[in-house]
Amino acid sequence: MRRRLLLVALPFLGAAGLVWWTSGAATSSGGPELQRLKGRWQRLDGGYMVEIRSVADSGAMEAAYYNPRPIHVARAEASRKGATTTVLIELRDVNYPGSTYTLTYDPVSDQLRGIYYQAVERQRFPVALVRVR
Query: Does the residue 124 lie in any domain?
Result: yes
Nearest in space to 50 (alpha carbons), one of 6, 89, 83: 89
Q: How does pLDDT run across 106-122, given as a tens digit for each residue?
A: 999 999 999 999 999 99
Residue 119: per-residue pLDDT: 98
Nearest in space to 50 (alpha carbons), one of 88, 107, 81: 88
More confident residue, 94 or 24: 94
Please give the residue range of the domain that contains residue 108: 32-131
Q: What mean pLDDT value characterizes the chain?
A: 84
Residue type, 55: V
Query: Does the residue 126 lie in any domain?
Result: yes
CATH number, position 115: 2.40.128
CB atoms within 10 A of CB 99: 20
Q: How does pLDDT run across 3-19, given as a tens digit for each residue?
A: 453 334 334 434 333 33
Helices (H), 21-123: 32-35
> How far is the C-alpha of 30 from the C-alpha of 78, rounded, in Å?
8
Query: Does the residue 41 lie in any domain?
Result: yes
Query: Does the residue 109 lie in any domain?
Result: yes
Query: Does the residue 6 lie in any domain?
Result: no
Residue 109: per-residue pLDDT: 97
Tell how many helices (H) and how many strands (E) occur in the chain: 2, 9
